Each structure stands twice: as structure tokens, then as C-alpha cells.
Chains A and B, each alone.
Chain A
């Protein structure tokens, strides 16, 4: 049994050229329809198992919010079905239904009841809501005296006061100050640990990748891709840079990862390797050792200005280090077809243990959004091990030189 099962879902909005057409449509149900259907979503099918968390990504207008609204139940699907098992809490917009004339406390009571929670239960939850929102004495002030940030805090606190079986979140995370964003994200993670199924729409890569197992990419109302969160995010990233004639392809590697490649293809990376001090290729590297990243590029068409960049990402897809030859001020000018260029970057591998991936970019200037010859994710995957030093945590190797001194407690001096 899955928590959310969406089968062949479609949503079309009726578009009438005039109100008269609508009226005629209503009056004469058997005559040919006078409206055009505009499909916001079509053929969407996916399942979310209990306890799983799934992110929905896509450009503006791709249908993300429509999908959430249908799953939440505020809008009806035109075709297909949505099955939901469990109590749903939806954070589509924080603070809906709040009334400015009433105090925060009164609004909390109303909002809770609007979510279908008993009055007694909300009263019991009140101290916790108050503590989480951290708005101090304002709780008994009318809502109109609140700053928008305070309203958001309060709204989020009520909406998540009771752990739901299914939590649906639409960009709500991006409101409030950085501190509260972290706090709310932590609460969502906590829910996840306790078994809440999560469906979340966000543009924030960090939010998606640090919370979601899987992601679904929507594009023009179609399900473009679903898979592991970082894979989908990489693909989405590549898609954002997509221009005319750009090709996106996936290569499935033996270890099960997808390599995503996009770009116009004037140049391509033909080899990526990490070389150790002895000159051997390696994918397992000891913390703190010197390595050289060698990237070989084949030029396919004349390129007036070529910039090569690379990025090391951790297993969550977070950037650890990235640089390009534009920033280093060493672009290649007038690359010719047939030419091969090999870049070597030597550096000490001062990062923590775990596995990492390297993405490469070939572009004209700093950003791949300008001219993207090739963008490649998961070009190389390598592992950092730590056998020489004390077992530290974190992604940076900040080797401490340490010393310590002890001082005996002062003895009572004899009188």
C-alpha cells in the first residue's frame, strides 16, 4: 500500500472565448463543446511509499503547483485518479484563513480547526506552537501588528503542530529568515524520521536534496523524469541551460548512477581522471594527499573562446569546490576542430571521507547559461578514505596543529 498513488493524472482548464459560450455549453450539454481545453498536466503517474519523501521540480508553469493542489484536494483532476492513504497536512500557502483583527492565539485556534483538529487538541498543542514560533508576547496581539515574517512563523508552527502522515509543502520553506528556514527544515526532517510521507515543491536545491529521496521533474505538464533526487536535480539543471540544438542524454554507469550530459556539443570531455603522486589513475584517495585532476577535451567545431570548469560535489550534490578557467583567467582562444586539450589541476585532497562526484563544464564565459558547449554531471566518482588521521567528521580537512595544557585547581592557601 502506498501513501500517494497518482495514476494517469491529467488536468485541463476550460477556456471560453466568451461568457456566452460558457452559458451555451451549460444550457446545451449535448451540443459540441464551445471551449478549448488547455492541459496543465497530462499522463502523470507516480507512487510515493509510506515514509518516503519526494520532491517535485520544474520550471515555472510546468504544473508543479497544480499537481500539489490536486493531490491536496483543492482542485479536481480532469482525468486519472489520486489515491491518498493517511492524514494530509498541506502547506500550500502559509497563513491562509488568518484574520488580521484577531490575536495570534485566536488565529491559531481557527487555523487548527480548519485543518480538522479538535479544539481541545489545539489548546493542548498551544504551548508547543508558541515555543516553536518564537514570537514572544505577540501571540496575544492582533495579527495586523505582526511583521510578515512573524505571521509566517506562526502559520508554519500551527500547520506542523501535529505530525501528519502525509505532508505536502509548496515552496513554503523559502519564507522567513535564514534561522527559521533551518528550523522549519529541521522539523520536516524530524517528521520524516518519524515516518511522515513527504511531497515537496521547491526551487531550492539544498532543500530538495537534503530532504528528498527521490524527485520528479515536470516539464510542460508532462512527467519528464523521475529518479534519485540528485540525479533529477542535475538533469533539471542541465535542462535549465537547454538551448536550441542542445542535446541532453543520460548514460547509465555500471554502478547504477546516471551521467547527465547536455550542451550544444562544439566540444566534449573525452576523459576525466584523478592521478596520484605515482602517476596512476585512482578513484580511492587518502585524505590530504596530492592529486591531479586531468580532463581531456576534444574540440568538434571552431570555438572562439573556451572556458573549462569543474566542480566537486558531495553525495548530496552540494558543491564542495568549483572553479573555471574564466575565473582563473586562462581561457583558450580560437580552438580548432580536431584539437585536443588536456587540463591538469593539481591540488591536495583536503576533504572529508565519503564519496564525491566531479562535474565538468565547457562554456564561453563564466556561466554555462550563456553558451553551454557541454555540461557533464557525474563525469567521475571517487572515494575519500581516512586511514592516516584521527577519524574526523565533515567535508573539509582542516588539519589542526594542537596542544593543550592542564592547570591544577588552585589549592586553598594556608592561612
Chain B
């Protein structure tokens, strides 16, 4: 990010932290269980997938027999996927949702994606923190390599935000983009080895999955946490390049179309 953007965002840090807090509160303020809902939803999903795939369909990870391993594998992919999909789908509509504010108030526009990302990250840290506690308690903590998640996570977040911004700008001008991408996300989820290991995919279709950048992100988490012998960590470079390209495209689009965008809202 160029220095100007950082500086203007920093000047509005009060607004950013306030909005994140407000968003967090407003989501749960009037519900009895409050923040517990953040945890319940993925827990239920996890339970269903473990039941269906591990118990009913007897899916096994190559080289690992433990039943627990599948659940961890699933969590590693699913929790991070949820973060990705939250950032993308929320930022995809943030300009439209805040149309009135954009039209009537003068503030650094970059604040909006930052707010969306921060609040997604908070949700993610809560649930991933619990997951980590579970790993430690169940004796499945992978050791120091656990911290290798951080750099992957950072790249992953940058990737998600950039994609979100690109889609958001496009969505303002072409409203079909939002609708279309909601469907794409569904396909994308199943085209990423999250609930199934890549080994179950027929050789002839595997190329599809190898072209998917999410495979590499999710693969990295999985290989760190489950110690599956996958080569993705080594193949991380292309994903890094893709991410950088996304940032560039996002920046250009954001810069060029911002002025015109407010007229379209």
C-alpha cells in the first residue's frame, strides 16, 4: 500500500476501530447468546462434515489413520475458507451498503475494506484461537511449525481483500457481479480440497484444482497442522505472485474508478 493510503487510514484509526467494535456489537447486541454464535455455526458445520465424510463415507487421509486427523484437516481448511469467504463477500457489497456515507461524507475510502477485514479477522481469531486450544488439549499441536501459519495467513488475507475490492468496484458498475460471485463461491468451495483430500480427485481432473490459488492456501494450512506430506508449501511462490498481481489490479481499479464510482452509487 502506498504511504498516502496508510497515512490517511491511520488518521482515521479512531473511526476504523470504532466501526469494527460497532459492527461486532451490532451483530450480537440484541441476541441472547451474543458472540457465542460466531463459534456455533462453524462447529455445527464441522460436526456435519466429520459425520458425513469421516464416519459415513469412511474418507481417510493418506498416511494418517487417526480419526482426529480428519477433523483437524477439515478445520484447517474450513476455518480459513470461512475467513476468506467472509472477507470477499462482505467487501463485495461494502461500497453499495455504505453508498450514502460515500456520497455525503469525505473520509479515506480505504477505511471501508480495512473495517471489513479487521472484523473478519477478529471473528477468525476467536474461532481459530479455540481451535488452537483444542489442538493443545488433544495433544495434536504440531509444535513450532504452527507459527508458519502466520505468513500464509497474511498473504491469504491480502489476497482476499484485493479480490474483495476488485469485485466490489466491479459490482458497483455491474450489479450482476455480486450475484454471480455468490454462486462462484459455492463452486469454489467444492473445487478446493477442504472436505476431501486431493488424492480422491481423479488424475484427469486434478489440473482444475491445481489452477485454484485457494488450493495452495488451504493446502499450506493443512500440511502445517496435519502434517500431510503435500508439496504445496514449496509451491507457494505462484500464489504469492498471484496475490501481488491482485493487489496491483485492485489498487489501479480502486484509484481509477473511485471518482466515477460515487456517481454510480
Please give the residue numbers on chain A whose beta carbons come within 8 Å of chain B beta carbons, in ascending order: 13-14, 19, 22-23, 69, 72-76, 88, 90, 92-93, 96-97, 99, 101-102, 106, 109-110, 113-114, 116, 118-119
Contacts and interface: CB of A to CB of B under 8 A. Distances in A.
B15 A110 contact: yes
A97 B260 contact: no
B206 interface: no
Given A74-B262, A76-B259, A113 B12 contact: yes
Interface of B: 11-12, 14-15, 18-19, 22, 25-26, 29-30, 100-107, 173-174, 258-260, 262-263
B260 A14 contact: yes
Given A19-B174, A96-B101, A74 B106 contact: yes
B199 to A, nearest CB: 41
A114 B107 contact: yes
A109 to B, nearest CB: 7
Given A113-B12, A114-B107, 6 more contacts: A75-B103, A88-B106, A96-B101, A102-B26, A114-B12, A116-B15
The 8 closest A-B pairs by CB, nearest first: A76-B259, A113-B14, A73-B106, A113-B15, A96-B104, A93-B104, A92-B104, A119-B14
A97 B107 CA distance: 12
A326 B174 CA distance: 58
Contacts of B258: 76
A114 B258 CA distance: 19
A88 B107 CA distance: 11
Contacts, number: 70
B235 to A, nearest CB: 32
- For A93, A110, A113, the residue with the greatest tally of chain B CB atoms inside 10 Å of its CB is A113
A119 B15 CA distance: 9
A226 to B, nearest CB: 25
B32 to A, nearest CB: 16
Contacts of A76: 258-260, 262
B180 to A, nearest CB: 13
B251 to A, nearest CB: 16
Residue from B15, B26, B173 whose CB has the most chain A CB atoms within 10 Å: B15
Given A75-B259, A88-B106, A113-B14, A101 B100 contact: no
B100 A116 contact: no
B163 to A, nearest CB: 18
A106 B25 CA distance: 12
Contacts of B262: 74-76
A92 B29 contact: no
A88 B106 CA distance: 9
Contacts of A69: 103
B263 A101 contact: no
Contact of A97 (B14, B25, B30, B101): B101
Most buried by B among A69, A75, A99, A118: A75
B100 A72 contact: no
A63 to B, nearest CB: 13
Given A101-B26, A102-B26, A96 B19 contact: no
A347 B201 CA distance: 102
Nearest to A107: B22
Contacts of A22: 173-174
A358 B106 CA distance: 44
Given A19-B173, A22-B173, A106 B22 contact: yes
Nearest to B257: A26
Contacts of A119: 14, 18
Contacts of A102: 22, 25-26
A13 B100 CA distance: 18
A15 to B, nearest CB: 10
A13 B26 CA distance: 36
Given A13-B263, A116-B12, A119-B14, A74 B22 contact: no
A93 B262 CA distance: 16
B14 A118 contact: yes
A84 B105 CA distance: 16
A84 to B, nearest CB: 10
B106 A93 contact: no
A110 B19 contact: yes
